[in-house]
Amino acid sequence: MPESKKNIPMEEVAGNGLLHRRVFLSQGAALISAGSFNLLTARPASAQTTVDIPPWMKVPGAGMSGYGSRAAHEDYIQRNPVSALGTTGSGGSRTPLQSLEGMITPSALHFERHHSGIPDINPDDHRLLIHGMVDRPLIFTMDALSRYPMVSRIHFIECSGNSRVGFNIEPALGSCGDLHGLVSCSEWTGVSLAILLEEAGIDPRAQWVLAEGADAAVMSRSVPVEKIMDDALLALYQNGERLRPDNGYPIRLLLPGYEGNISVKWLRRIKVTAEPTMTRDETSKYTDLRQDGKSLIFTFPMEVKSVITSPSPGLSMSGSGLYEISGLAWSGSGKIIAVEVSADGGRSWARAALSEPVLSKAMTRFRMAWRWNGGDAVIKSRAIDESGAIQPSRDQLLEEKGTKFNYHYNGIQSWRVASDGEVVNVYG
Amino acid sequence: MPESKKNIPMEEVAGNGLLHRRVFLSQGAALISAGSFNLLTARPASAQTTVDIPPWMKVPGAGMSGYGSRAAHEDYIQRNPVSALGTTGSGGSRTPLQSLEGMITPSALHFERHHSGIPDINPDDHRLLIHGMVDRPLIFTMDALSRYPMVSRIHFIECSGNSRVGFNIEPALGSCGDLHGLVSCSEWTGVSLAILLEEAGIDPRAQWVLAEGADAAVMSRSVPVEKIMDDALLALYQNGERLRPDNGYPIRLLLPGYEGNISVKWLRRIKVTAEPTMTRDETSKYTDLRQDGKSLIFTFPMEVKSVITSPSPGLSMSGSGLYEISGLAWSGSGKIIAVEVSADGGRSWARAALSEPVLSKAMTRFRMAWRWNGGDAVIKSRAIDESGAIQPSRDQLLEEKGTKFNYHYNGIQSWRVASDGEVVNVYG
User: Which chain B residues are within 8 Å of A241, Cβ to Cβ?
Assistant: 70, 74, 77, 99-100, 106, 109
| CB-based contact A208:A275 (threshold 8 Å) | yes
Could you give the CA distance from residue B48 to residue A200 in angstroms, rounded to a whole number? Answer: 15
Q: Hey, what CATH class is A1-37+288-428 in?
A: mainly beta
Q: Which tens digit of pLDDT belongs to each residue from B286-300?
A: 999 999 999 999 999
Q: Is the pLDDT of residue A385 over 90?
A: yes
For A40, which residue in chain B has the nearest alpha carbon? B144
Residue A314 CA to chain centroid, in angstroms? 19
Lowest mean pLDDT among A281-290, A296-305, B341-350, B385-394: A281-290
Above pLDDT 70, what percent of chain B? Answer: 90
pLDDT (0 to 100) of residue A251: 98
How do beta strands B112-114 and B128-132 pair? unpaired
Q: Is the pLDDT of residue A174 over 90?
A: yes
Could you give the CA distance from residue A402 to residue A383 in angstroms, rounded to a whole number? Answer: 22
Above pLDDT 90, what percent of chain B? Answer: 80
- Between chains, do A214 and B119 touch, taking CB under 8 Å as contact? no
> How distant is the Cα of B177 from the closest Cα of chain A, in angstroms?
13
Identify the band that residue A38 occupies on the pLDDT scale cut at 50, 70 and 90: very low
Q: Which of A411, A329, A402, A338 is nearest to A365 (CA)?
A: A329
Q: What average pLDDT does range A36-45 have in this prediction?
A: 55
User: Which chain B residues are within 8 Å of A321, Cβ to Cβ?
Assistant: 147
Q: What average pLDDT does range B331-347 have in this prediction?
A: 98
Q: Is the pLDDT of residue A25 over 50?
A: no
| CB-based contact A331:A373 (threshold 8 Å) | no
List Cα–Cα distances, A332 to A259, A286, B244, B274, in angstroms: 8, 17, 32, 52
pLDDT (0 to 100) of residue A42: 62
pLDDT (0 to 100) of residue A23: 57
Q: Which tens digit of pLDDT belongs to each residue from B125-138?
A: 999 999 999 998 99
- Between chains, do B67 and A28 touch, taking CB under 8 Å as contact? no
Q: Does B292 touch chain A if contact means CB atoms closer than 8 Å?
A: no
User: Which chain B residues are within 8 Å of A123, Cβ to Cβ?
Assistant: 71, 73
pLDDT (0 to 100) of residue A32: 42
Identify the band that residue B4 occupies on the pLDDT scale cut at 50, 70 and 90: very low
- Between chains, do A144 and B60 touch, taking CB under 8 Å as contact? no
Q: Does B85 touch chain A if contact means CB atoms closer than 8 Å?
A: no
Above pLDDT 70, what percent of chain A? Answer: 90
3-state secondary structure of A44: strand
**According to CATH, what is the number of the domain B1-40+287-428?**
2.60.40.650
Domain A112-173+181-286 grouped into CATH 1.10.4160.10: no
More confident residue, A416 or B17: A416
Beta partners for residue A151, in sequence order: A190
> How distant is the Cα of A102 from the closest Cα of chain B, in angstroms?
5
**According to CATH, what is the number of the domain B112-173+181-277?**
3.90.420.10
Nearest to A152 among B62, B321, B355 (CB): B355
pLDDT (0 to 100) of residue B147: 85
> How distant is the Cα of B347 from the closest Cα of chain A, in angstroms?
24
A210 by Cβ neighbours in 10 Å (0-12 / 13-18 / 19+) ranks as buried
Identify the band that residue B384 occupies on the pLDDT scale cut at 50, 70 and 90: very high
Write down the domain spans for chain A: 1-37+288-428, 112-173+181-286
The pTM of the full predicted model, rounded to 2 decimals, is 0.94
- Count of other CB atoms within 10 angstroms of residue B173: 11
A267-273: strand order across its sheet:
A220-224, A208-213, A267-273, A128-132, A138-140, B43-44
Q: Which tens digit of pLDDT belongs to each residue from A248-263?
A: 999 999 999 999 999 9
Identify the band that residue B21 occupies on the pLDDT scale cut at 50, 70 and 90: low
List Cα–Cα distances, A371 to A368, A418, B32, B340, in angstroms: 10, 15, 57, 50
Above pLDDT 90, what percent of chain A? Answer: 80
How do beta strands B267-273 and B128-132 pair? parallel
Q: Does B206 touch chain A if contact means CB atoms closer than 8 Å?
A: yes
Chain A segment 36-55 residues within 8 A of B by beta carbon are 36-38, 40-47, 49-51, 54
Lowest mean pLDDT among A419-428, B33-42, B234-243, B419-428: B33-42
Q: Is the pLDDT of residue B97 over 60?
A: yes
Amino acid at residue number B132? G
> How distant is the Cα of B408 from the closest Cα of chain A, in angstroms?
24
User: Which chain B residues are within 8 Å of A188, Cβ to Cβ?
Assistant: 102
Q: Does A424 touch chain B if contact means CB atoms closer than 8 Å?
A: no
Lowest mean pLDDT among A186-195, A205-214, B36-45, B316-325: B36-45
Lowest mean pLDDT among A3-7, A224-228, B109-113: A3-7
Please provide residue A20's backbone torsions phi and psi, each rounded to the nearest 5 degrees.
-60, 140
Gap between the terminal Cα atoms of chain A: 48
Helix ranges restricted to H, A98-192: 142-145, 176-180
More confident residue, A227 or A4: A227
| CB-based contact B335:A158 (threshold 8 Å) | no
Residue B194 CA to chain centroid, in angstroms? 26
Q: Does A254 touch chain B if contact means CB atoms closer than 8 Å?
A: no
Q: Does B58 touch chain A if contact means CB atoms closer than 8 Å?
A: yes
DSSP symbol at A120? -
More confident residue, A321 or A252: A252
Q: Is-same-fold flag (B1-40+287-428; B112-173+181-277)?
A: no
Q: Which tens digit of pLDDT belongs to each residue from A77-103?
A: 999 999 999 888 999 999 999 999 999
CB neighbour burial string for B398-422, b if at least 16 within 10 angstroms, e if fewer: beebeeebbbbbbbbbbbbbeeeee
Could you give the CA distance from residue A91 to residue B383 in angstroms, rounded to a whole number? Answer: 47
Q: What average pLDDT does range B245-263 have in this prediction?
A: 98
